[in-house]
């Protein structure tokens, strides 16, 4: 899957998915080479590699379609396409931070 198709999928998911209600919602929105594109608490997607941490979510490992993360001391395996992703209000532009 090329970078353009991943970005198109992520943007489509951002426009169509409902908002997360959880206080620490984490979703795997895509893969960018050796980095996982994570959405944490409806913030803009962020590309993180193994060992990186963002807003209390630490990336432990990354495979082709999964990311293992640690959230509040608990290990979770996130799978690509497993959860809908929503960032901001409808009509707002999404951006990717690396």
Per-residue pLDDT tens over the stretch 20-79: 333 479 999 999 999 999 999 989 999 999 999 999 999 999 999 999 999 999 999 999
Is residue 62 domain-resident? yes
Average pLDDT of span 69-97: 74
Is residue 52 domain-resident? yes
Give the Å distances, CA to CA, from 11 to 8, 16, 53: 5, 9, 23
Is residue 27 domain-resident? yes
Count of beta carbons in the 10 Å neighbourhood of residue 55 = 12
Give residue 93's pLDDT.
47
Is residue 92 domain-resident? no
In terms of residue numbers, what domain contains 8? Answer: 3-79
Is residue 87 domain-resident? no
Angle at 39 between CA 34 and CA 45, to 5 degrees: 70
Is residue 9 domain-resident? yes
pTM over 0.75: no
Task: Tally the domains of the chain.
Answer: 1
Q: For residue 25, give the DSSP letter.
A: -
Is residue 21 domain-resident? yes
């Amino acid at each position: 899957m090329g970078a353009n198709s991943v970005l198109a999928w992520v943007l489509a998911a951002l426009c169509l998915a409902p908002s997360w209600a959880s206080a620490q919602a984490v979703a795997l929105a895509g893969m960018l080479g050796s980095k996982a594109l994570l959405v944490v608490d409806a913030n803009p997607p962020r590309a993180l590699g193994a060992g990186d941490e963002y807003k209390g979510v630490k990336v432990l490992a990354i495979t082709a379609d999964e990311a293992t993360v640690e959230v509040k001391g608990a290990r979770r395996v996130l799978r690509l396409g497993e959860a809908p992703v929503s960032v901001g209000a409808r009509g707002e532009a999404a951006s990717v931070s690396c």
